[in-house]
Amino acid sequence: MVPPTSTTDTETTRADEFTARRFDFIVVGGGTAGLVVAARLAENSALTVGVLEAGAAVGEDGKDDEGNIRIPGCFGQTLGGSHDWQFETVSQPGLGGRQLPWPRGKVLGGTSVLNFMTWNRASREDYDAWEALGNPGWGWDSLLPCFKQSETFHPPPPEIRDRYPVAYDPSAFGDSGPIHISHCREFTTSHGLWHATLNSLGVETNEAHFAGSNVGVWTNVCSINPDTAVRSYAVDYCRRLDGSSPTNLHILTGASVQEIVLTKKDEEWAATGVRFIHRGREFVASVSREVILSAGSVQSPQILELSGVGRPDVLSAAGVPVKVKSPNVGDNLQDHIMLAMIFEIDPSIANPDDLKCDDVAAASAREQYLQHRSGPLTILPSSMVYLPLSHFMPGDALATIASKVGGLTSIPAEQRHIMQRRFDSDAKKLGQVEFIFDLGNWSPYFQPNPADGKKYGTMLLILQHPFSRGSIHICPANNSTNSSTPSSSSSPPGHPSNPDATSPENHPLIDPGYYAGPHGSLDLEIMTHCARFADHICRASPLSSIIRARVFPAPPTTTNTDDDASLRAWAVDTTVTDWHPVGTCAMGDVVDERLRVRGVRGLRVVDASVIPLQISAHLQATVYAIAEKGARMIAEDLAGG
């Protein structure tokens, strides 16, 4: 059942009721993956399924934020708010010591409530790489049915197809899944120039970007229900066609999980329940079959470690008894790396920033949306292109990077082999860098003067296959530097002196290792070439017809040049995350190919943390597919005894 929309003392009673039930399965984390798994398992009426979510349901906490969540054009406005865990990285030496915000959803629906609704897939080769790493059944052909099962694609109406390049392969999409996806019904002025500009630079329009190769220029698809013009997100899995929820699915919000209860059975550890805190009280919920951990790339490794599964040195430093030695829990962290280049544009062009600084325009846009489901608040970033590095990097530069990859001995040999292949002739099939152009200022580091009346556009450049590697681990108990703990052992901001490393609310140490070491230096070199091509795109016609000048980084002058050193310094000072962390409970390592935690019976991980090698796509659609496949595997194993 869906939780009530109030925060009264009856919630404590609900926690008592929750723990009194006899659960077959308990899902830890009611986010993008967790609700998929729970809802699919609940389709079997003979099973009783529970979900524990630390956040509230939308509207449950009394905050009037549903509009900012559901209205497409309000994307980003809930970041940093009550539905955000408000994580931060530790200081990043590769970024000049900066710490970055890492938004993750603390709400029923998880990050599918906070994201920017981008819906796409990586190329076939990205998923086949997972299988090549020793995970049978995780290649493109096996995953495609799971992608389709999650989605209902709404083809664009004729008036959109006639005005914009929204070509697609209908056979690649699903037509009966819980998540509604569609093209926007309106676009910015710049999008009308996007395809022609990239075509002029030798980039072909990809008319089948969902069918196994995302290379080329295309119009983005979003997780929007076009019938209502609202965000479609993971909670939609829990609703039947008549609006009801499965009676055998029980969701408890406001429940912070402390640990998975592990019990020794026949010399083997088994998951038998979950210990959690709800409204200041501790509870234990028991489970007869499995616990499914779907807390995401940040908190799935955290909860494993709090439960005694992980690196012995990390657990000992935190005062957690070691039950199962799993040396790579929390390691192998990979994230998409992003830069934002800002351009001054023609001031006559309507711009999303207008709604931020003009109350009348904002009120008018909201009224148009509420009355007609049209206008600026229906528009999302849609101008995308994925390119292989060979499209704009010189051959000698590619060869130099390829030669260095073999020396990255801290990366497993199987991963290195795949990374090296991305620099040979077949790599032309891979979208190794994503470029997105959108109106408005997207950079937190460029602060224009609103009084000057200027308008801006942003070119985002996002590295898809980073070499940078990092980790996420629980804090040492004393929060002090210790040679036996992970290299980043200082507490995150906001948690400077909490001695209780085993508190579920104590943020873990997030160290992505951006641009650090020999791995990161390769990323920095690649991003320098990406920045040059991003500038080149914006100087090409017809996009250049609306662009006045580049303003960030500052354009070249007699005293300021666009040499490699200047662009690298700008990248170090302004690189941010694209919020796509993966790999911290990787398949073939921490979990097996059926997502079972090695060394523990009755425990699986189903979320983005199981992705062993980063992909060239925004993660949302892939996480849904992983969850669909995980639910299938659980059902298969259940049927097989």
b/e map 18-55, b = 16+ CB within 10 Å: bbebebbbbbbbbbbbbbbbbbbbbebeebbbbbbbbb
Res. 489: pLDDT tops 80: no
State pLDDT tens for residues 420-442: 888 876 667 789 999 999 999 99
List the beta bridge partners of residue 283. Answer: 276
Confidence of residue 484 (pLDDT cuts 50, 70, 90): very low
How far apart are alpha carbons 375 and 105 in whole angstroms?
27
Q: How far is CA 413 from each of CA 318, 328, 609, rounded to the nearest angstrom?
A: 31, 15, 20
Q: What is the pLDDT of residue 561?
A: 66
Q: How far apart are CA 73 and CA 352, in angstroms?
A: 9
**pLDDT of the residue at 452:** 87
Torsion of CA 229, 231, 235, 240, to 10 degrees: 20
CB-side neighbour CA atoms (13 Å) of 37: 33
pLDDT given at position 352: 84
Centre a 10 Å sphere on the Cβ of residue 371 and count the other Cβ atoms it contains.
Answer: 9
Does residue 130 contact residue 155 with C-beta atoms inside 8 Å? Answer: no
pLDDT in tens, 569-600: 999 999 999 999 999 999 999 999 999 999 99
Q: Which residues pair with 98 in a beta bridge?
A: 92
391 tagged catalytic: no
What's the pLDDT band for 485 if we cut at 50, 70, 90? very low
pLDDT of 10 > 80? The answer is: no
Among 180, 507, 519, 580, which one carries the catalytic annotation? Answer: 580
| Per-residue confidence (pLDDT) for residue 25, from 0 to 100 | 98
How does pLDDT run across 372-383, given as a tens digit for each residue? 999 999 999 999
Q: What is the pLDDT of residues 185-209, one digit of tens each?
A: 999 999 999 999 999 999 999 999 9
Share of the chain above pLDDT 90, in %: 77
Q: Could you tell me which of 65, 104, 57 has the C-alpha nearest to residue 253?
A: 57
Partners of 547 in the β-ladder = 345
Top pLDDT among 341 and 496 is at: 341
CB 95 within 8 A of CB 572: yes
Q: Would you state the pLDDT for residue 265?
A: 85
* Predicted pLDDT of residue 137: 97
- Would you say 257 is a known binding-site residue? yes
pLDDT of 614 above 60:
yes
- Of the pLDDT bands very low, low, confident and very high (cuts 50, 70, 90), residue 3 is very low
Residue 370 has pLDDT above 80, yes or no: yes
pLDDT tens digits, 239-254:
865 566 789 999 999 9
Evaluate whether 457 touches 545 at the Cβ level (below 8 Å): no
pLDDT reported for residue 204: 96
Which DSSP category does 475 fall into?
P
Task: State yes or no: pLDDT of 521 exceeds 60.
Answer: yes
Maximum average pLDDT range among 307-311, 391-395, 485-489, 517-521: 307-311
Question: Which segments of 472-550 does DSSP mark as H helices, in order?
Answer: 517-538
Is 570 a known ligand-binding residue?
Answer: no
* Catalytic residue selected from 180, 195, 507, 618: 618
Residue 459 is encoded by which pair of tokens? 């070119």
Read off φ and ψ for residue 3, nearest 5 degrees.
Answer: -60, 150
- pLDDT mean over 411-416: 90
> For the ranges 484-498, 518-532, 605-619, which has the lowest average pLDDT?
484-498
Q: Using alpha carbons only, what angle is made at residue 19 by residues 16 and 23, rounded to the nearest 5 degrees?
A: 150
Q: Is 183 a catalytic residue?
A: no
Could you tell me the two tokens for 427? 């790599």
Query: How many other β-carbons are positioned within 10 Å of the β-carbon of residue 399?
Result: 11
Of 316-320, 390-394, 423-427, 573-577, which range is least confident?
Answer: 423-427
**CB contact at 8 A, 574 and 379:** no
27 annotated as a binding-site residue: no
What are the DSSP calls for 73-142, one per residue?
Answer: GGTTTTTTSTTB--EEBPPBGGGTTB--EE--B-BTTGGGTTS--EE----HHHHHHHHHTT-TT-SHHH
What is the DSSP annotation of 570-606? HHHHH-EE-S--B-TT-BTTTB-TT-BBTTEETEEE-
Q: How confident is residue 61, by pLDDT bands cut at 50, 70 and 90?
A: low
* Predicted TM-score (pTM) above 0.85: yes
Q: Tell me what the mean pLDDT of segment 525-544 comes to.
A: 97
| Spatial separation of the C-alpha atoms in residues 556 and 227, rounded to whole Å | 48
> Measured in whole angstroms, how far is the alpha carbon of residue 633 from the centre of its chain?
23
Mean pLDDT score of the chain: 90
Which residue has better confidence, 179 or 62?
Answer: 179
Question: Nearest-CA neighbor of 232 among 154, 296, 122, 165?
Answer: 154
577 is in an annotated binding site: no
Does the pLDDT at position 616 exceed 60? yes
**Strand (E) or helix (H) holding 363:** helix 359-372
78 marked as binding residue? no
Find the radius of gyration of the CA atoms of the chain: 24
Q: Which two tokens stand for residue 500?
A: 């209780």
